Amino acid sequence: MISRRAVLLGGAAAGAAGFAPSALGRMPLSRDTLPRSAPVRHLALAAAEMEVALLGPDKPKTKGFCAYNGTPFLTLRAPQGTRLMVDFDNRLPDYTTVHWHGVRVPYLSDGVSPLTQAAIPAGGRFTYDVPLPDPGFYFFHPHCDETGQVGRGLVGLIFVDDPAEAKLGFDLDHIIAVKDWRLDESGGWLPMFTDEGASTAGTFGTVRATNGQVVPPRVEAPAHGDVRLRVIVADSTRTIDFGCETDEAAIIAIDGQALPPLLLSKLPDEIWRMGPAMRIDVHVRMPGPGEEVKVYDYRTAEPYLLTTLVAVDKGRRKTPFKPKALPAARVPLPDMKRATRLEYLVQTAAGPTIIAPALPADDPLAKALIESACVGSKAFWAINRNSWGAGADLRLPPPLQILKDGESYILSITNVTKHVHPMHLHGHVFRVLSSSKKTGIPPYLADTVMTEPNETVEIAFRANSGDWVFHCHILEHMDSGLMGWFRVV
Protein backbone atom coordinates (compact mmCIF):
# COMPACT_ATOMS: atom_id res chain seq x y z
CA MET A 1 0.00 0.00 0.00
CA ILE A 2 1.34 3.44 -0.86
CA SER A 3 1.23 5.67 2.22
CA ARG A 4 -1.27 8.49 2.08
CA ARG A 5 1.52 10.98 2.62
CA ALA A 6 3.42 9.71 -0.39
CA VAL A 7 0.27 9.88 -2.46
CA LEU A 8 -0.29 13.40 -1.24
CA LEU A 9 3.17 14.62 -2.22
CA GLY A 10 3.04 12.82 -5.54
CA GLY A 11 -0.37 14.31 -6.06
CA ALA A 12 0.79 17.87 -5.69
CA ALA A 13 3.20 17.37 -8.56
CA ALA A 14 0.81 15.38 -10.73
CA GLY A 15 -2.02 17.79 -10.04
CA ALA A 16 -0.02 20.92 -10.75
CA ALA A 17 1.27 19.49 -14.00
CA GLY A 18 -2.24 18.60 -15.09
CA PHE A 19 -3.85 22.04 -15.04
CA ALA A 20 -4.54 23.90 -18.23
CA PRO A 21 -7.24 26.36 -19.37
CA SER A 22 -10.71 25.10 -18.58
CA ALA A 23 -13.62 24.19 -20.78
CA LEU A 24 -15.84 23.60 -17.80
CA GLY A 25 -17.54 26.97 -17.50
CA ARG A 26 -18.23 28.84 -14.31
CA MET A 27 -18.38 27.33 -10.85
CA PRO A 28 -21.92 26.44 -9.78
CA LEU A 29 -23.74 28.47 -7.15
CA SER A 30 -24.59 26.70 -3.95
CA ARG A 31 -28.37 26.62 -3.61
CA ASP A 32 -30.13 26.37 -0.25
CA THR A 33 -33.07 24.00 0.22
CA LEU A 34 -34.45 25.77 3.33
CA PRO A 35 -35.22 29.44 3.99
CA ARG A 36 -32.63 31.38 6.01
CA SER A 37 -35.32 31.74 8.72
CA ALA A 38 -35.43 27.95 9.33
CA PRO A 39 -34.77 26.95 12.96
CA VAL A 40 -31.11 26.12 13.54
CA ARG A 41 -29.64 23.40 15.75
CA HIS A 42 -25.95 23.45 16.53
CA LEU A 43 -24.23 20.11 16.74
CA ALA A 44 -20.68 19.35 17.80
CA LEU A 45 -19.56 16.25 15.92
CA ALA A 46 -16.19 14.57 16.41
CA ALA A 47 -14.79 11.51 14.66
CA ALA A 48 -12.33 9.51 16.73
CA GLU A 49 -10.98 6.03 17.28
CA MET A 50 -12.06 3.91 20.22
CA GLU A 51 -11.88 0.36 21.58
CA VAL A 52 -15.01 -1.80 21.26
CA ALA A 53 -15.99 -5.42 21.85
CA LEU A 54 -17.09 -6.41 18.36
CA LEU A 55 -16.56 -10.17 18.45
CA GLY A 56 -18.86 -10.59 21.47
CA PRO A 57 -18.80 -10.02 25.22
CA ASP A 58 -16.06 -12.47 26.27
CA LYS A 59 -13.88 -12.06 23.21
CA PRO A 60 -10.85 -9.83 22.63
CA LYS A 61 -11.68 -6.16 22.03
CA THR A 62 -10.98 -4.31 18.82
CA LYS A 63 -8.81 -1.21 18.75
CA GLY A 64 -9.10 1.49 16.11
CA PHE A 65 -12.87 1.32 15.76
CA CYS A 66 -14.05 4.65 14.33
CA ALA A 67 -17.14 6.44 15.61
CA TYR A 68 -18.82 9.82 15.75
CA ASN A 69 -19.07 11.29 19.26
CA GLY A 70 -17.86 8.00 20.76
CA THR A 71 -21.11 6.22 19.80
CA PRO A 72 -21.25 3.42 17.23
CA PHE A 73 -24.08 4.22 14.75
CA LEU A 74 -24.62 7.66 16.35
CA THR A 75 -28.26 8.49 15.61
CA LEU A 76 -29.50 12.05 15.04
CA ARG A 77 -33.18 12.98 15.04
CA ALA A 78 -34.63 16.32 14.03
CA PRO A 79 -37.94 17.70 12.81
CA GLN A 80 -38.33 18.35 9.07
CA GLY A 81 -37.38 21.94 8.27
CA THR A 82 -34.53 22.15 10.78
CA ARG A 83 -31.07 23.31 9.78
CA LEU A 84 -28.17 21.53 11.45
CA MET A 85 -25.01 23.59 11.77
CA VAL A 86 -22.42 20.93 12.36
CA ASP A 87 -19.13 21.89 13.90
CA PHE A 88 -17.02 18.91 12.90
CA ASP A 89 -13.75 18.04 14.59
CA ASN A 90 -11.44 15.43 13.05
CA ARG A 91 -9.78 13.53 15.90
CA LEU A 92 -8.83 10.62 13.64
CA PRO A 93 -5.17 10.15 12.74
CA ASP A 94 -6.13 10.50 9.04
CA TYR A 95 -7.80 12.80 6.58
CA THR A 96 -11.58 12.64 6.55
CA THR A 97 -14.74 14.52 5.47
CA VAL A 98 -18.44 14.08 6.29
CA HIS A 99 -21.00 13.31 3.58
CA TRP A 100 -24.74 13.60 4.34
CA HIS A 101 -26.06 10.75 2.23
CA GLY A 102 -29.42 11.50 0.59
CA VAL A 103 -29.83 14.88 2.28
CA ARG A 104 -30.27 17.76 -0.18
CA VAL A 105 -27.46 19.94 1.22
CA PRO A 106 -25.73 22.86 -0.54
CA TYR A 107 -22.90 21.21 -2.46
CA LEU A 108 -20.21 23.00 -0.45
CA SER A 109 -21.41 20.91 2.53
CA ASP A 110 -21.50 17.67 0.53
CA GLY A 111 -18.17 16.45 1.91
CA VAL A 112 -16.60 15.14 -1.30
CA SER A 113 -12.89 15.69 -1.41
CA PRO A 114 -11.45 17.04 -3.63
CA LEU A 115 -14.59 18.08 -5.50
CA THR A 116 -16.50 20.18 -2.93
CA GLN A 117 -13.93 20.67 -0.16
CA ALA A 118 -10.36 19.79 0.71
CA ALA A 119 -10.01 16.76 2.94
CA ILE A 120 -9.88 17.67 6.63
CA PRO A 121 -6.49 16.75 8.09
CA ALA A 122 -6.03 15.10 11.50
CA GLY A 123 -6.87 17.73 14.10
CA GLY A 124 -8.72 19.87 11.52
CA ARG A 125 -12.26 21.23 11.69
CA PHE A 126 -14.98 22.05 9.21
CA THR A 127 -18.46 23.53 9.55
CA TYR A 128 -21.22 21.79 7.60
CA ASP A 129 -24.49 23.53 6.82
CA VAL A 130 -27.03 20.69 6.73
CA PRO A 131 -30.60 21.76 5.95
CA LEU A 132 -33.15 18.97 6.42
CA PRO A 133 -35.88 19.82 3.90
CA ASP A 134 -37.27 16.29 3.47
CA PRO A 135 -38.63 13.89 6.10
CA GLY A 136 -37.04 10.45 6.02
CA PHE A 137 -34.16 8.17 6.88
CA TYR A 138 -30.67 9.32 5.89
CA PHE A 139 -27.14 8.64 7.05
CA PHE A 140 -23.71 10.20 7.14
CA HIS A 141 -20.23 8.83 6.58
CA PRO A 142 -16.78 9.94 5.47
CA HIS A 143 -16.04 10.54 1.80
CA CYS A 144 -12.27 10.14 2.09
CA ASP A 145 -10.64 6.73 2.60
CA GLU A 146 -14.23 5.53 2.81
CA THR A 147 -13.42 1.86 2.50
CA GLY A 148 -11.12 2.02 5.51
CA GLN A 149 -13.06 4.39 7.76
CA VAL A 150 -16.57 3.08 7.08
CA GLY A 151 -15.13 -0.44 7.28
CA ARG A 152 -13.95 0.34 10.80
CA GLY A 153 -17.37 1.62 11.83
CA LEU A 154 -17.64 5.30 10.91
CA VAL A 155 -21.34 5.65 10.08
CA GLY A 156 -24.10 7.76 11.65
CA LEU A 157 -27.87 7.73 11.07
CA ILE A 158 -30.28 10.66 10.64
CA PHE A 159 -34.04 10.55 11.06
CA VAL A 160 -35.92 13.60 9.85
CA ASP A 161 -39.38 13.52 11.36
CA ASP A 162 -42.58 14.80 9.85
CA PRO A 163 -44.99 15.65 12.72
CA ALA A 164 -47.85 14.25 10.59
CA GLU A 165 -46.34 10.76 10.96
CA ALA A 166 -47.20 10.66 14.66
CA LYS A 167 -50.85 10.17 13.70
CA LEU A 168 -50.01 6.87 12.03
CA GLY A 169 -49.65 5.36 15.49
CA PHE A 170 -46.74 2.95 15.15
CA ASP A 171 -46.06 1.09 18.41
CA LEU A 172 -42.36 0.78 17.79
CA ASP A 173 -39.75 2.38 15.53
CA HIS A 174 -36.84 -0.03 15.24
CA ILE A 175 -33.51 0.21 13.39
CA ILE A 176 -31.88 -2.71 11.59
CA ALA A 177 -28.39 -1.63 10.53
CA VAL A 178 -26.64 -4.33 8.52
CA LYS A 179 -22.89 -4.05 8.84
CA ASP A 180 -20.23 -6.74 8.98
CA TRP A 181 -16.84 -6.55 10.66
CA ARG A 182 -13.60 -7.59 8.97
CA LEU A 183 -11.64 -8.99 11.86
CA ASP A 184 -9.18 -11.74 12.68
CA GLU A 185 -9.75 -14.03 15.67
CA SER A 186 -7.91 -11.74 18.05
CA GLY A 187 -10.16 -8.82 17.13
CA GLY A 188 -7.62 -7.09 14.88
CA TRP A 189 -8.69 -5.49 11.59
CA LEU A 190 -8.00 -7.31 8.36
CA PRO A 191 -7.29 -5.21 5.26
CA MET A 192 -10.50 -3.60 4.00
CA PHE A 193 -9.26 -3.08 0.46
CA THR A 194 -7.91 -6.04 -1.47
CA ASP A 195 -7.22 -6.07 -5.21
CA GLU A 196 -9.05 -9.39 -5.42
CA GLY A 197 -12.18 -7.92 -3.79
CA ALA A 198 -12.06 -4.45 -5.31
CA SER A 199 -11.91 -5.91 -8.83
CA THR A 200 -14.82 -8.33 -8.18
CA ALA A 201 -17.78 -8.27 -5.76
CA GLY A 202 -15.83 -6.53 -2.98
CA THR A 203 -14.02 -7.70 0.14
CA PHE A 204 -16.56 -9.08 2.61
CA GLY A 205 -16.42 -8.91 6.38
CA THR A 206 -15.52 -12.05 8.31
CA VAL A 207 -18.17 -11.55 10.99
CA ARG A 208 -21.79 -10.70 10.27
CA ALA A 209 -23.57 -8.29 12.58
CA THR A 210 -26.81 -6.36 13.03
CA ASN A 211 -26.65 -3.04 14.87
CA GLY A 212 -23.05 -3.87 15.67
CA GLN A 213 -23.89 -7.15 17.41
CA VAL A 214 -22.90 -10.60 16.23
CA VAL A 215 -25.92 -12.20 17.96
CA PRO A 216 -29.06 -11.24 15.98
CA PRO A 217 -31.16 -8.93 18.18
CA ARG A 218 -34.52 -10.02 19.64
CA VAL A 219 -36.96 -7.15 19.99
CA GLU A 220 -40.28 -7.12 21.82
CA ALA A 221 -43.35 -5.44 20.32
CA PRO A 222 -47.06 -5.50 21.23
CA ALA A 223 -48.92 -8.53 19.84
CA HIS A 224 -51.18 -7.41 16.92
CA GLY A 225 -49.33 -4.06 17.03
CA ASP A 226 -47.56 -2.12 14.30
CA VAL A 227 -43.79 -1.92 13.94
CA ARG A 228 -41.90 0.45 11.68
CA LEU A 229 -38.56 -1.09 10.75
CA ARG A 230 -35.86 1.26 9.53
CA VAL A 231 -33.50 -0.94 7.56
CA ILE A 232 -30.14 0.20 6.24
CA VAL A 233 -27.27 -1.63 4.62
CA ALA A 234 -24.41 0.30 6.18
CA ASP A 235 -21.85 -2.25 5.05
CA SER A 236 -19.11 -1.34 2.57
CA THR A 237 -19.71 -4.40 0.42
CA ARG A 238 -22.64 -6.65 1.26
CA THR A 239 -25.89 -6.76 -0.73
CA ILE A 240 -28.87 -8.35 1.05
CA ASP A 241 -32.22 -9.76 -0.04
CA PHE A 242 -34.46 -8.38 2.67
CA GLY A 243 -37.49 -10.48 3.61
CA CYS A 244 -39.83 -11.17 6.54
CA GLU A 245 -41.47 -14.44 7.55
CA THR A 246 -44.95 -12.94 7.41
CA ASP A 247 -47.41 -11.81 4.73
CA GLU A 248 -48.27 -8.75 6.81
CA ALA A 249 -45.30 -6.55 5.91
CA ALA A 250 -45.06 -3.68 3.44
CA ILE A 251 -42.34 -1.28 2.26
CA ILE A 252 -43.60 2.23 3.02
CA ALA A 253 -40.48 4.26 2.17
CA ILE A 254 -37.37 3.75 0.06
CA ASP A 255 -34.25 5.78 0.90
CA GLY A 256 -36.46 7.79 3.24
CA GLN A 257 -39.01 8.76 0.56
CA ALA A 258 -42.61 7.66 1.03
CA LEU A 259 -44.26 5.49 -1.60
CA PRO A 260 -47.66 3.79 -1.82
CA PRO A 261 -47.12 0.69 0.36
CA LEU A 262 -45.59 -2.27 -1.48
CA LEU A 263 -46.47 -5.61 0.10
CA LEU A 264 -43.30 -7.69 0.43
CA SER A 265 -45.33 -10.82 -0.35
CA LYS A 266 -46.24 -9.35 -3.77
CA LEU A 267 -42.66 -8.64 -4.82
CA PRO A 268 -40.70 -11.07 -7.02
CA ASP A 269 -39.28 -13.76 -4.66
CA GLU A 270 -40.90 -11.81 -1.79
CA ILE A 271 -37.67 -9.91 -1.18
CA TRP A 272 -36.24 -6.43 -1.68
CA ARG A 273 -32.61 -6.40 -2.83
CA MET A 274 -30.54 -3.78 -1.04
CA GLY A 275 -26.92 -2.86 -1.72
CA PRO A 276 -24.70 -0.70 0.45
CA ALA A 277 -26.32 2.65 1.40
CA MET A 278 -29.86 1.55 0.50
CA ARG A 279 -32.61 2.02 3.10
CA ILE A 280 -36.23 0.96 3.44
CA ASP A 281 -38.95 1.61 6.00
CA VAL A 282 -41.12 -1.46 6.51
CA HIS A 283 -44.48 -1.66 8.26
CA VAL A 284 -44.75 -5.04 9.99
CA ARG A 285 -47.95 -6.18 11.70
CA MET A 286 -47.14 -8.24 14.78
CA PRO A 287 -48.74 -11.69 15.21
CA GLY A 288 -50.48 -12.98 18.35
CA PRO A 289 -48.94 -13.19 21.84
CA GLY A 290 -45.81 -15.36 22.04
CA GLU A 291 -45.41 -15.58 18.27
CA GLU A 292 -42.45 -14.15 16.37
CA VAL A 293 -41.64 -12.49 13.07
CA LYS A 294 -38.20 -13.37 11.78
CA VAL A 295 -36.46 -10.94 9.47
CA TYR A 296 -33.88 -12.43 7.12
CA ASP A 297 -31.29 -11.77 4.50
CA TYR A 298 -32.16 -14.46 1.93
CA ARG A 299 -29.24 -13.69 -0.40
CA THR A 300 -26.83 -16.08 1.28
CA ALA A 301 -27.13 -19.84 0.75
CA GLU A 302 -28.26 -20.22 4.36
CA PRO A 303 -30.68 -17.34 5.12
CA TYR A 304 -29.09 -15.01 7.68
CA LEU A 305 -31.31 -13.99 10.59
CA LEU A 306 -31.16 -10.21 10.92
CA THR A 307 -33.59 -9.71 13.79
CA THR A 308 -36.46 -11.47 15.56
CA LEU A 309 -39.56 -9.49 16.53
CA VAL A 310 -41.27 -11.08 19.53
CA ALA A 311 -44.98 -10.40 20.12
CA VAL A 312 -45.89 -9.71 23.75
CA ASP A 313 -49.44 -9.44 25.01
CA LYS A 314 -50.48 -5.84 25.64
CA GLY A 315 -54.21 -6.46 25.37
CA ARG A 316 -54.46 -5.54 21.65
CA ARG A 317 -57.09 -7.18 19.50
CA LYS A 318 -56.44 -8.58 16.09
CA THR A 319 -57.56 -6.28 13.24
CA PRO A 320 -57.16 -6.69 9.46
CA PHE A 321 -53.74 -5.59 8.21
CA LYS A 322 -53.78 -2.38 6.23
CA PRO A 323 -50.31 -0.96 5.48
CA LYS A 324 -49.92 2.61 6.71
CA ALA A 325 -49.08 5.12 3.98
CA LEU A 326 -46.63 7.88 4.96
CA PRO A 327 -47.35 11.47 3.86
CA ALA A 328 -46.29 11.85 0.21
CA ALA A 329 -42.70 12.89 -0.48
CA ARG A 330 -42.21 16.55 -1.40
CA VAL A 331 -38.89 16.55 -3.24
CA PRO A 332 -38.62 18.36 -6.62
CA LEU A 333 -39.84 16.05 -9.37
CA PRO A 334 -38.51 15.81 -12.93
CA ASP A 335 -40.50 17.20 -15.85
CA MET A 336 -40.72 14.04 -17.96
CA LYS A 337 -41.96 15.83 -21.09
CA ARG A 338 -38.83 17.94 -21.35
CA ALA A 339 -36.24 15.62 -19.87
CA THR A 340 -32.94 15.11 -21.71
CA ARG A 341 -31.75 11.52 -21.92
CA LEU A 342 -28.16 10.59 -21.16
CA GLU A 343 -26.63 7.12 -21.33
CA TYR A 344 -23.99 5.67 -19.09
CA LEU A 345 -22.18 2.36 -19.02
CA VAL A 346 -20.86 0.94 -15.78
CA GLN A 347 -17.88 -1.10 -16.88
CA THR A 348 -14.47 -2.46 -15.98
CA ALA A 349 -11.59 -0.08 -16.60
CA ALA A 350 -9.87 -0.85 -19.87
CA GLY A 351 -6.59 0.90 -20.31
CA PRO A 352 -5.74 4.40 -19.26
CA THR A 353 -8.28 6.96 -18.16
CA ILE A 354 -9.15 9.72 -20.58
CA ILE A 355 -7.69 12.83 -19.02
CA ALA A 356 -9.73 15.93 -18.34
CA PRO A 357 -9.87 19.27 -19.93
CA ALA A 358 -8.12 20.36 -16.73
CA LEU A 359 -9.21 23.14 -14.42
CA PRO A 360 -7.82 26.69 -14.32
CA ALA A 361 -5.43 27.27 -11.40
CA ASP A 362 -7.78 29.77 -9.73
CA ASP A 363 -10.63 27.23 -9.61
CA PRO A 364 -11.16 26.13 -5.98
CA LEU A 365 -10.92 22.57 -7.23
CA ALA A 366 -7.38 23.06 -8.40
CA LYS A 367 -6.32 24.14 -4.94
CA ALA A 368 -8.28 21.39 -3.23
CA LEU A 369 -6.70 18.76 -5.44
CA ILE A 370 -3.24 19.81 -4.45
CA GLU A 371 -4.10 19.88 -0.75
CA SER A 372 -5.71 16.51 -0.38
CA ALA A 373 -5.62 13.02 -1.77
CA CYS A 374 -8.79 11.06 -1.06
CA VAL A 375 -8.15 8.52 -3.78
CA GLY A 376 -7.69 4.79 -3.91
CA SER A 377 -4.60 3.02 -5.15
CA LYS A 378 -5.88 1.37 -8.33
CA ALA A 379 -8.55 1.82 -11.00
CA PHE A 380 -10.55 -1.31 -11.82
CA TRP A 381 -13.83 0.31 -12.88
CA ALA A 382 -15.13 3.09 -15.08
CA ILE A 383 -18.23 4.99 -16.17
CA ASN A 384 -18.24 5.61 -19.94
CA ARG A 385 -14.51 4.78 -20.01
CA ASN A 386 -13.57 7.32 -17.35
CA SER A 387 -12.22 6.25 -13.98
CA TRP A 388 -11.96 8.46 -10.95
CA GLY A 389 -8.31 9.31 -10.18
CA ALA A 390 -6.35 6.57 -8.43
CA GLY A 391 -2.77 5.88 -7.46
CA ALA A 392 -0.47 8.71 -8.42
CA ASP A 393 -3.01 10.13 -10.88
CA LEU A 394 -5.01 12.59 -8.85
CA ARG A 395 -6.53 14.42 -11.76
CA LEU A 396 -10.28 14.44 -11.84
CA PRO A 397 -11.87 12.83 -14.82
CA PRO A 398 -13.87 15.28 -16.96
CA PRO A 399 -17.44 15.71 -15.72
CA LEU A 400 -19.79 13.09 -17.12
CA GLN A 401 -21.87 16.00 -18.35
CA ILE A 402 -22.47 19.67 -17.62
CA LEU A 403 -26.14 19.97 -16.69
CA LYS A 404 -28.42 23.00 -16.44
CA ASP A 405 -29.84 24.00 -13.09
CA GLY A 406 -33.59 23.30 -12.91
CA GLU A 407 -33.63 21.15 -16.07
CA SER A 408 -34.78 17.53 -16.00
CA TYR A 409 -32.65 14.57 -17.04
CA ILE A 410 -33.10 10.86 -17.54
CA LEU A 411 -30.03 8.75 -16.91
CA SER A 412 -30.04 5.39 -18.56
CA ILE A 413 -27.49 3.29 -16.67
CA THR A 414 -26.35 -0.04 -18.08
CA ASN A 415 -24.24 -2.38 -16.01
CA VAL A 416 -22.01 -4.32 -18.41
CA THR A 417 -19.97 -5.98 -15.66
CA LYS A 418 -20.42 -9.33 -13.91
CA HIS A 419 -21.21 -7.78 -10.52
CA VAL A 420 -23.98 -5.74 -8.92
CA HIS A 421 -23.42 -2.00 -8.48
CA PRO A 422 -25.69 0.13 -6.27
CA MET A 423 -25.36 3.55 -7.94
CA HIS A 424 -25.74 6.71 -5.86
CA LEU A 425 -26.18 10.29 -7.09
CA HIS A 426 -25.31 13.05 -4.64
CA GLY A 427 -27.46 16.09 -3.97
CA HIS A 428 -30.66 14.74 -5.55
CA VAL A 429 -33.54 12.42 -4.92
CA PHE A 430 -34.32 10.76 -8.25
CA ARG A 431 -37.21 8.77 -9.58
CA VAL A 432 -36.45 5.19 -10.53
CA LEU A 433 -38.43 4.84 -13.76
CA SER A 434 -37.73 1.38 -15.04
CA SER A 435 -35.48 -1.63 -15.16
CA SER A 436 -34.86 -3.99 -18.06
CA LYS A 437 -34.93 -6.91 -15.61
CA LYS A 438 -37.30 -6.16 -12.74
CA THR A 439 -40.78 -5.47 -13.94
CA GLY A 440 -44.02 -4.77 -12.13
CA ILE A 441 -42.51 -2.31 -9.65
CA PRO A 442 -44.11 1.12 -9.97
CA PRO A 443 -41.73 4.12 -10.23
CA TYR A 444 -40.39 5.23 -6.83
CA LEU A 445 -38.05 7.84 -5.38
CA ALA A 446 -34.55 6.95 -4.19
CA ASP A 447 -30.99 8.22 -3.93
CA THR A 448 -29.27 4.88 -4.65
CA VAL A 449 -30.38 2.31 -7.21
CA MET A 450 -29.25 -1.26 -7.70
CA THR A 451 -27.93 -2.25 -11.13
CA GLU A 452 -27.51 -5.96 -11.85
CA PRO A 453 -25.22 -7.48 -14.50
CA ASN A 454 -26.66 -6.75 -17.98
CA GLU A 455 -29.43 -4.61 -16.55
CA THR A 456 -30.38 -1.15 -17.74
CA VAL A 457 -32.00 1.07 -15.14
CA GLU A 458 -33.51 4.46 -15.90
CA ILE A 459 -33.67 7.24 -13.36
CA ALA A 460 -34.90 10.83 -13.71
CA PHE A 461 -34.30 13.97 -11.69
CA ARG A 462 -34.41 17.73 -11.73
CA ALA A 463 -30.85 19.05 -11.62
CA ASN A 464 -29.81 21.20 -8.69
CA SER A 465 -26.78 23.48 -8.99
CA GLY A 466 -23.51 22.12 -7.69
CA ASP A 467 -20.75 19.64 -8.39
CA TRP A 468 -22.19 16.22 -7.60
CA VAL A 469 -20.61 12.79 -7.73
CA PHE A 470 -22.31 9.71 -9.10
CA HIS A 471 -20.77 6.47 -7.92
CA CYS A 472 -21.10 2.85 -6.89
CA HIS A 473 -21.66 2.48 -3.14
CA ILE A 474 -19.64 -0.71 -2.88
CA LEU A 475 -16.87 1.33 -1.37
CA GLU A 476 -13.95 -0.55 -2.89
CA HIS A 477 -15.52 -0.07 -6.32
CA MET A 478 -15.86 3.63 -5.67
CA ASP A 479 -12.28 3.78 -4.37
CA SER A 480 -11.07 1.99 -7.51
CA GLY A 481 -12.53 4.18 -10.21
CA LEU A 482 -16.33 3.69 -10.18
CA MET A 483 -17.16 7.36 -9.67
CA GLY A 484 -17.93 10.26 -11.97
CA TRP A 485 -19.38 13.72 -11.46
CA PHE A 486 -21.85 16.17 -12.87
CA ARG A 487 -21.44 19.93 -12.83
CA VAL A 488 -24.85 21.62 -12.66
CA VAL A 489 -24.83 25.36 -13.47
Binding site for ligand C2O (CB under 6 A): 99, 101, 141, 143, 277, 424, 426, 469, 471, 473
Residues 407-436 that bind Cu ion (CB under 5 A): 421
Beta carbon nearer to ligand C2O, 110 or 248: 110
* Position with the least CB separation from ligand C2O: 101
Q: Which does residue 143 touch among ligand C2O, Cu ion, none (CB within 5 to 8 A, set by kind)? A: ligand C2O
User: Which three-class secondary structure state does DSSP give residue 30?
Assistant: coil
Cβ 431 to Cu ion, closest distance in Å? 22
- Residues sharing a CB contact under 8 Å with residue 362, sequence separation 6 or more, in sequence order: none
Between CA 174 and CA 261 the distance in angstroms is 18
Q: Which does residue 99 touch among ligand C2O, Cu ion, none (CB within 5 to 8 A, set by kind)? A: ligand C2O
Between CA 343 and CA 415 the distance in angstroms is 11
Cβ 164 to ligand C2O, closest distance in Å? 27
Ramachandran angles phi, psi of 333, nearest 5°: -105, 150
CB 451 within 8 A of CB 346: yes
Dihedral angle over CA of 336, 337, 340, 341, nearest 10: 60
- Residues sharing a CB contact under 8 Å with residue 460, sequence separation 6 or more, in sequence order: 334, 336, 339, 408, 409, 410, 411, 430, 431, 433
Q: Which does residue 472 touch among ligand C2O, Cu ion, none (CB within 5 to 8 A, set by kind)? A: Cu ion
Residue 158, Ramachandran bin (φ over 0: left; ψ between -120 and 50: alpha; else beta): beta
How many CB atoms sit inside 10 A of residue 73's CB?
Answer: 18
Q: Which residues pair with 272 in a beta bridge?
A: 242
Q: Which residues pair with 253 in a beta bridge?
A: 258, 281
From residue 370 to residue 409, the character string flagging contacts with Cu ion as x (rule: CB under 5 A) and all else as - is ----------------------------------------
Q: Which does residue 177 touch among ligand C2O, Cu ion, none (CB within 5 to 8 A, set by kind)? A: none
Cβ 100 to ligand C2O, closest distance in Å? 9
List 264, 477, 487, 488, residue binding Cu ion (CB under 5 A): 477
Beta carbon nearer to ligand C2O, 154 or 244: 154
Q: Which does residue 424 touch among ligand C2O, Cu ion, none (CB within 5 to 8 A, set by kind)? A: ligand C2O
Cβ 116 to ligand C2O, closest distance in Å? 11
List 474, 475, 483, 488, residue binding Cu ion (CB under 5 A): 474
Cβ 101 to ligand C2O, closest distance in Å? 4
Question: Could you list the residues that contact Cu ion (CB under 5 A)?
Answer: 421, 472, 474, 477
